[in-house]
Structure 1
Amino acid sequence: MEFTIKTGEIAQQKTPCILMGIFEGRKLMGSGQAIDQACGGRLSDLLSKGDMDGRIGGTLMLYDLPNLAAERILLVGCGKQEEFGRENYRKAIAAGITALHQTRAGAALCTLPELARDGLGLYTAVRDLILTSEDKTYRYGRTKTQDQQAPTTPLHTLSVWLAEPADQAHAQTAIEQGRAMAAGVKLAKELSNLPGNLCTPTYLADQALALGEASAALETEILDEADMAALGMGALLSVSRGSRQPAKLIVMHHRGGAAGEKPVVLVGKGLTFDSGGISIKPAADMDEMKYDMCGGAAVFGALQAASALALPLNLIGVVPASENMPDGDANKPGDIVTSMSGQTIEILNTDAEGRLILCDALTYCERFEPALVIDLATLTGACVIALGKHASGLFTQDDALAEEIIDSGLAAGDRAWRMPLWDDYQQQLDTNFADMANVGGREAGAVTAACFLARFTKAYRWAHLDIAGTTWLTGKEKGATGRPVALLTQLLLQRSGVIPH
């Protein structure tokens, strides 16, 4: 979708549709009052008939209002004015975009940011408009021959109306950064929604190479199983042994900072399909285990966004990619493997494989002497039980890093919630036969998984995001959300100092 900025008298804006918000009690604000005045009170007269009361998410399309250059006016309910905040703002945008898709407008002029700017600021209001609009217009179609629900006239242009021409610079920055962030989210969705027979570790590696070819600031290298064996990645390779698809370690470098500047490293779990291995999962909903690579997909999205914006920092994305299958050579409960760090691991449950591929990738990151490392993984069902689908679980012993990640999530509307990572939990990983077990029992499963990873991250600042509850939806709305690309991109923008104040 194309996003532009328009200024000037709202009544004189020539457009197929003006998207405008009203509050409960049929309150018109700013542009709405100007439109009502231009059309001689006709808008107020229509509202008095009661077809639109301003409740959040309600819509009403009006045609042929006098003295307006616009063909249509789409009214969107924004709820009570005193309760209007970011959540209702995003709901109003989503309702408006959905309604526009049921028309043949194709393009629209949106005035909604004027309602949110006092609480959010213009930059955030415009960026949220872009992110929400792109989210509502995204449709997966890679493996569909036809889409019966596709709009007849897709929305191709959305313009932002500004009452003050002086606001154009901030709004333009919001558009540029919002588009890059939204494109990263879309890439993560596309990769995650692909079925496991198409999106294999090799396919992911090829996509990383393609990203590198598309950007001069991005370099990609792929380590194959022989390379990983030479490095001693026994934990990672033990997972791929059960699959006919060879594992790959994908490493992407965005070199936007000064030479020698310590990089930010993002590590994403890339299990392109997880059957559970010998500890096989139940058949119900196993199809959703194609989403076990959403952490890796989010790293792709964040790297693409950083590259598109030419962010002035050094950034590295590391994605260990594998399948977890129940082959005759697969891991067995009770097997002991040696990680790249030299620590031994007793595999009590082969379905706890994500931490096995991550631990070697985290050890590999030591060579970069990173400023910080953030890993993100669909690691535990326990985190879904703890936090549901609203917040990703955040684990770190670094208070300053925790605050930075939480603040980035709030600013991006992609929240994380800090969970404990106390040494008290480490004893649950004790075993008689190795340095550690790969699971710590039913209690605090998300915490003990993070405790496991912590044993491989002592050389640098580190945080872990468990995104199992946030990165895809189940049921009727089944599909990837693209989270936490927005959080990660926000953190990178803040570290780059390129967000306007």
Structure 2
Amino acid sequence: MNCTLLTGDLANHATPCLVLGVFAQEPLTGAAAAMDRASSGQLAALWQKGDLSGDAGRTLLLYALPGVAAERILLIDFGKSAECTRAKYRKTLTAAIAALQQLHAGAAVLALPEQLPEGLDLYAAVRDVVTLAAAGTYRYTRTKTDKKAPKMPLTALALWLAADAEMRSAELALTHGTALAAGTQLAKELGNLPGNICTPTYLAEQALALAEQFAALTVDVLDAAAMAELGMNALLSVARGSRQPPKLIVLNYRGGAADAKPVVLVGKGLTFDAGGISLKPANEMDEMKYDMSGGASVLGVMQVACALQLPLNLIGVVPSSENLPDGDANKPGDVVTSMSGQTIEVLNTDAEGRLILCDALTYCQRFDPEVVIDVATLTGACVIALGKHATGLFSPDDALAAELLAAGDRAGDRAWRMPLWEDYQQQIDTNFADMANVGGREGGAITAACFLARFTKTYRWAHLDIAGVAWLSGKEKGSTGRPVGLLTQFLLNHCANGAG
């Protein structure tokens, strides 16, 4: 998807399709009003016939409007202006992209509505267009024949601006949005790949391929022997059940001062999770290929940082393995010793994500980090708590939590803070080790975060549980690429390169 910006006389701009925003049962404004004047009132006459119902996301296609050079006019209804939230704005843009995909246009010009939703400035509005256009035109084709592919898919979208004065903010949004869209697409593609292709070795290869693209990025891949030498027995205990060798993937982007402490992102890279001996139910187990979505999002964010040449030091750590039943796999009741020296009783082998993450979090101490954020499809309990809409955010650091929440709001990739009180720690106490890897049914997402907290006491830390948001099920099954948007915005804000 190629997105560009343009200004000038919109009526005289030749394009296969001109997309105009209107508000339900309200006078035409902005670009739509200008096109109505150019057509001597013909646009308003057609619009007022009532074919748009007033529901946000409805579209109406018009042809050969007199006085307008565009071959087609696609009206998109944003609903009532007083009720137009960012969610409705995004819903309407998504519907417009879907409609454009079905036309034989291939390219289009989009004029944003003159009145944006409350709290949404031009920068965010333009960036939303870029990222939503990329999302709406992405199709997974790696392992299938795409029989339903559009005959002439949308490949070019120009955003029309009313004034040159808006160009600077829009250009920044276009730059950020383009990089964010590419990073999100990388995360989506990795997530959508089946587990027999996207193995720990494959993830490592993709990280090495990124390093070949960007001079500021280096990648080290630790194998099982190297991890054993470091004492990463918790991570290795999970990998024992699989024939696929585990990898610890370390990506190092140097964009800041040599002495600046790095931001470290840790992404769970469980490329398939059958639950181990504590075998999962067969229903929808195929979706456990998405258990590496945290690692995929870290690779996506690293690509964004490199593409934008962000002025900070950023490290990505992706512990990667499979979790399968085998004669050498973890058994309930086994006790393993983590890299930190703390012992863990494995009461449920399906709570493996925290086992591979805890060693990776201990490994992060060597970087003397400014902050560490881990990202993981960690618990079904988080899905029960927050559904498919918000990432679960856990942190003992109020300031860090506030930064992440604000970044999520700004990016339209929201999180919700959950408690991390000491009260919950007792649930993972056990008679046979320093801690158990599960704490019972009650507060499962919280006790999982409490487990990780025991390995993060030497630095500022936050945990993002993305089990509910990393992919969609059912008819729309597929990776969402979240939370690449949230983390990218956090980095933009962090290095003062954001737009507010």
Q: Which amino acid aligns with 1:13?
A: H
The residue aligned with 1:86 is 86
Show CA shifts across 1:21-48 (max 9, x none): 1111053111111100110100111122
Equivalent residue for 1:295? 294
Q: Aligned runs of 1:44-123 on 2, under 5 Å?
A: 44-112=44-112, 114-116=114-116, 119-123=119-123
Q: Does 1:186 align with 2:185?
A: yes
CA apart distance, 1:321: 0.2
Per-residue displacement from partner, 1:124-156 (whole Å, max 9, x unpaired)? 000011111111111111001x21221110111
Give 1:282 shift.
0.6
How far apart are residue 55 of structure 1 and its match?
Answer: 2.2
Q: Deviation at 1:296?
A: 0.3
Q: Which residue identity does 1:126 align to in structure 2?
A: V
Could you say which residue in structure 2 is the equivalent of 1:418? 417
SS at match of 1:115: coil
1:311 and 2:310 are equivalent in the alignment = yes
Secondary structure of the residue aligned to 1:120 is coil
DSSP-derived class of the 1:265 partner: strand
- Pairing 1:71-470 to 2, within 5 Å after superposition: 71-112=71-112, 114-116=114-116, 119-144=119-144, 146-470=145-469
Shift of 1:60: 0.7
Quote the sequence identity (%).
66
Which amino acid is 1:4 matched to?
T
Question: Deviation at 1:8?
Answer: 1.1
Q: Deviations over 1:287-322 (max 9, x none)?
A: 000000000000000000000000000000000000
How big is the shift at 1:117? 7.0
Contact 2:210 2:303 in 1 (8 A): yes
Is the Cα contact below 8 Å between 2:89 and 2:117 reproduced in 1? no
> Could you tell me which amino acid in structure 2 is paired with residue 475 of structure 1?
G
Measure, in 1, the Cα distance between the counterparts of 2:55 and 2:377: 36
1:117–1:423 CA distance, 2 compared to 1 (3 A): closer
Q: Is the 8 A contact 1:186 1:482 kept in 2?
A: yes
Query: Is 1:26–1:53's contact at 8 Å kept on the other side of the alignment?
Result: no
Distance, in Å, in 2 between the alignment partners of 1:118 and 1:12 is: 31
> Aligned partners of 1:56 and 1:462: how far apart in 2?
40
Find the aligned partners of 1:15 and 1:497 in 2 and give their Cα distance.
37
* Structure 2 residue 471 is the aligned partner of structure 1 residue 472: yes
Give the superposition deviation at 1:115.
Answer: 3.4
- Kindly provide the amino acid, as one letter, of the partner of residue 106 in structure 1: G
Contact 2:22–2:113 (Cα < 8 Å) also in 1? no
Structure 1 window deviating more from structure 2 (334-343 vs 109-118): it is 109-118
The one-letter code sitting in structure 1 at the alignment partner of 2:433 is A
Q: How far, CA to CA, are the matches of 2:451 and 2:278 in structure 1?
A: 19
Contact kept, 8 Å, 2:4 with 2:159, in 1: the verdict is yes
Match of residue 42 from structure 2: 42
Instruction: Choose 83-92 or 43-52, whichever is displaced more.
Output: 43-52
Determine if contact 1:415/1:487 at 8 Å carries over to the other structure: yes
Question: Alpha carbons of 1:113 and 1:220: their partners in 2 closer, same or farther (altered >3 Å)?
Answer: farther
Residue 158 to residue 113, structure 1, CA distance change in 2 (3 Å): farther
* Secondary structure of 1:101 counterpart: helix
CA–CA distance in structure 1, aligned partners of residues 54 and 218 of structure 2: 51
Q: Which residue of 2 aligns with 1:23?
A: 23
Structure 1 Cα separation of the partners of residues 47 and 350 of structure 2: 58
Task: Give the whole-Å Cα distance in 1 for the aligned partners of 2:98 and 2:105.
Answer: 12
Q: Structure 2 stretches of 5 or more lacking a match?
A: none
The offset of 1:169, in angstroms, is 1.2
Going from structure 1 to structure 2, the CA distance change for 1:134 and 1:220 (only over 3 Å counts) comes to same
Taking only aligned residues, the RMSD between alpha carbons, in angstroms, comes to 1.0
Bigger drift between 6-15 and 440-449 goes to 6-15
- Tell me how far apart the structure 2 counterparts of residues 216 and 118 of structure 1 sit (CA, whole Å): 41
Q: Pick closer, same or farther for the CA change 1:163–1:118 going to 2, 3 Å.
A: farther
CA 151–26 in structure 1, closer or farther in 2 if over 3 Å, else same: farther
Distance 1:342 1:55 in 2: 59
| Contact 1:372/1:462 (<8 A) preserved | yes
The DSSP-based 3-state class of the residue aligned with 2:388 is coil
Question: Could you tell which deviates more after superposition, 52-61 or 372-381?
Answer: 52-61
Which residue type is aligned with residue 213 of structure 1?
E
Question: What is the alpha-carbon distance in structure 1 between the residues aligned to residue 177 and residue 51 of structure 2?
Answer: 34
Report the counterpart of residue 9 of structure 1 in structure 2.
9
- The alignment's TM-score, normalised by the length of structure 2, stands at 0.99
In the TM superposition, structure 1's runs of 4+ consecutive aligned residues that sit over 4 Å from their partners are none
